[in-house]
Chain A
Amino acid sequence: MSVLIQNLVRCAPGTRKRLLNDVSLDVPTGAFVALVGPSGAGKTTLLRAIAGLDTCESGSLLLDGQKVENMQDRARKIGFVFQNYALFPHMTVARNISFGLDVQPRAMRPSQGEIAARVQELLDLMQLPDMGKAYPARLSGGQRQRVALARALATGPGLLLLDEPFGALDPIVRRTIRSWLRSLHDRLGLTTILVTHDQEEALEVADRIVVMQQGSIMQDASPEELDKEPATAFVMEFLGESATFRGVVQDGWFTPEEDGVLPFAVAAEIAPGPADAMIRPFEITIASADLVQGQTVPISSQGVRNGYRHYLARLKDRTIAVHIPDYTGENVLSESYGVLDISRARLFRDGKRYS
């Protein structure tokens, strides 16, 4: 099911504060989109608006190219997994899953046998084959999560909306459920929109990342594009650890204002003036002090993590983390002084990216 949102505006009830500020988004059928952003960015608000749980002041929402007015049209076509799962506490797992089928009008409702078969099929799919008779209170977080997912999928929706689905799970369960969800999405041919505040999770599971801030979409791009060409300094910062170097662009060169950092060549069309160079720790390299000119800074090794040797470069007022790939298991720096090479940095001016 495709989703097309145009100029959606939603204000906080009773105020003029905009929770969604002119949001437009096009999600084609079969896409896996992640909405990311800090708390209060409007991710969940947008998700709830798509589900029709909240009404919006203006803008339009088309599902499969058609306007949906009332809840009855939406129901059963959208599967929604709530942040705290919202399982019915007084129903068994099987009754929870079959709820969407049980409440259908008699003429449309499948027979008891068909419903039972569907429930068992979903329980098998969720890898919970023997849990049908248990009550939600007896399940672990990961199990509840999967029951909520099964319940959302029972009516065969084309669109799956997930609100922070991994929030309450421990890291190992998170990782397995994440990849399992991705394969489920591919197998069932769903369109999935997922809300998360964890950018790593989004980058791993989604085809497209929509970064939101203060009710607006800052950037809507593939993970690669987002990594290579972040639209704003906020997106750059939000997607992972980064360092910012203030400096000046002049004659096709960016000159950092701090000592111990090398200038680098930039595209000629960039207008001269102050700019910020932002770079990830693993993109910085350390140049040997005797090969380049300029003030050197002290550099200390912080050990090895995930195949990277971590260093701390001590500039005048702050320290910069530098991660160098560690192939040999030995400290590749021969001396404890060096100069930072940040030529892979992206340039930002007034928060917007330049190159």
Chain B
Amino acid sequence: MRQTFLTFLRGGDSALPGYRLSLAATLLWTGFFIVLPLCALAIRPWQDGMGAVVGALHDTRMFAALWTSFSSAALAALFNLPIGLLLAWALVRGDLPGRRVADALVDLPLALPTAVSGITLATLYGPQGWLGAPLAKLGIVVAYSRPGIVLALMFVGLPFVVRTVEPVLKNLPRDLEEAAVLLGARPWQIVLRVILAPLLPALITGFGLAFARGVGEYGSVIFIAGNQPFRSEIAPLLVVVRLQEFDYPGATAIALVLLLTSLAALALVGVVRRKFSAWGDAA
């Protein structure tokens, strides 16, 4: 007994010293940080009885907010795909001056406090903003409506697409394109069949990450969204609203639905990605 415990601690034949001990410690901490809060989230709604949860789930305002969140996140992630791909392309293949600066700027939306980006976007695209005013003259309303939400989510989601596509693009040998040219492929055929096809798994991953970030995004959205119930109210905001009303079962019920739907969506993205990257598995 003591013997087996010692071998476990020594880590068997792993190259890392003290592998099992550190793994156990890591798992314990991960449990406290991630698994425990998630479990609490799953358990909490039921503590006030089934009735409270069922009542909270029968809320059309909640469903409207969930729909706004998920559809906006999906749209934003979708729009980010071509933009992110082009940016990654410019960073990898382009030799523009200031490429390194641009490279650093791509990550900025991740570092910026989300409230700052939210206020900036709201100011820019507001009815009196630099971009909002001319757009309003054209009859396009961005701020305080759905387009505003999508815009904010695109802002925070873009780095995910760029950073997942970039390394794959970098590792894509140039002679694939040359081979395609010599085999008689025309430029659009090369882009579609030789460049985009192998990038597809990375693009799907980037989409999944940007989507996940978009669903959970709060700070950058609430300033530009207008937050009208049933129209431009996102689910995370509704959670806060419910909390302020001391409606804990309602808040946790929304959170639970949010959690489960996100999980399902990410699982779906994973399945799709695996389907498109079967070619990468070596024997």
Residues of A within 8 A of B (CB): 51, 53, 71-72, 74-76, 78-80, 82, 84, 86, 88-92, 99-100, 103-104, 135-138, 151, 154-155
Q: Which residues of B contact A74 (CB under 8 A)?
A: 182
Q: Which residues of A contact B194 (CB under 8 A)?
A: 88
Contact B175–A84 (Cβ < 8 Å):
yes
Contact A84–B281 (Cβ < 8 Å):
no
Contact B281–A137 (Cβ < 8 Å):
yes
Q: Does B51 contact A (CB under 8 A)?
A: no
The majority secondary structure among interface residues of chain A is loop
In the bound assembly, the distance between CA atoms of A99 and B183 in angstroms comes to 7
In the bound assembly, the distance between CA atoms of A86 and B175 in angstroms comes to 6
In the bound assembly, the distance between CA atoms of A80 and B176 in angstroms comes to 12
In the bound assembly, the distance between CA atoms of A72 and B187 in angstroms comes to 11
In the bound assembly, the distance between CA atoms of A99 and B200 in angstroms comes to 19
Q: Does B257 contact A (CB under 8 A)?
A: no
Q: Does B193 contact A (CB under 8 A)?
A: yes
Mind listing 29 A-B residue pairs with CB under 8 Å?
Answer: A51-B182, A71-B182, A75-B184, A76-B183, A76-B184, A78-B182, A80-B178, A82-B175, A82-B179, A84-B175, A88-B180, A88-B197, A89-B198, A89-B279, A90-B197, A90-B279, A91-B279, A99-B180, A100-B183, A103-B184, A103-B185, A103-B193, A104-B184, A135-B280, A137-B279, A137-B281, A138-B283, A151-B179, A155-B184
In the bound assembly, the distance between CA atoms of A135 and B279 in angstroms comes to 6
In the bound assembly, the distance between CA atoms of A92 and B68 in angstroms comes to 41
In the bound assembly, the distance between CA atoms of A138 and B281 in angstroms comes to 8
The majority secondary structure among interface residues of chain B is helix
In the bound assembly, the distance between CA atoms of A76 and B181 in angstroms comes to 9
Q: Does B189 contact A (CB under 8 A)?
A: yes
Q: Does B186 contact A (CB under 8 A)?
A: yes
Shortest C-beta distance, A301 to chain B (Å), equals 48
Contact B181–A75 (Cβ < 8 Å):
yes
Chain B 178-232 interface residues, beta-carbon cutoff 8 Å to A: 178-186, 189, 193-194, 197-198, 200
Q: Does B97 contact A (CB under 8 A)?
A: no
Chain B window 158-192, contacts with chain A (Cβ cutoff 8 Å), 1 for yes, 0 for no: 00000000000000010110111111111001000
Q: Which residues of A contact B180 (CB under 8 A)?
A: 88, 99, 103
Contact A53–B178 (Cβ < 8 Å):
yes
Beyond A88-B180, A138-B283, 18 additional contacts (C-beta under 8 Å) are: A71-B181, A75-B181, A75-B182, A75-B183, A76-B184, A82-B178, A84-B173, A86-B173, A86-B178, A88-B197, A89-B279, A90-B279, A99-B183, A103-B180, A135-B281, A136-B279, A137-B282, A138-B281
Shortest C-beta distance, B224 to chain A (Å), equals 39
Shortest C-beta distance, A272 to chain B (Å), equals 54
Contact B198–A90 (Cβ < 8 Å):
yes
Q: Which 8 A-B pairs have the closest CB atoms?
A: A75-B184, A100-B183, A86-B175, A135-B279, A103-B185, A138-B283, A86-B179, A90-B198
Taking A86-B173, A86-B178 as contacts, is the C-beta distance between A151 and B183 under 8 angstroms? yes
In the bound assembly, the distance between CA atoms of A254 and B186 in angstroms comes to 64
Shortest C-beta distance, B221 to chain A (Å), equals 36
Taking A86-B173, A86-B176, A90-B197 as contacts, is the C-beta distance between A137 and B183 under 8 angstroms? no
Chain B window 267-281, contacts with chain A (Cβ cutoff 8 Å), 1 for yes, 0 for no: 000000000001111
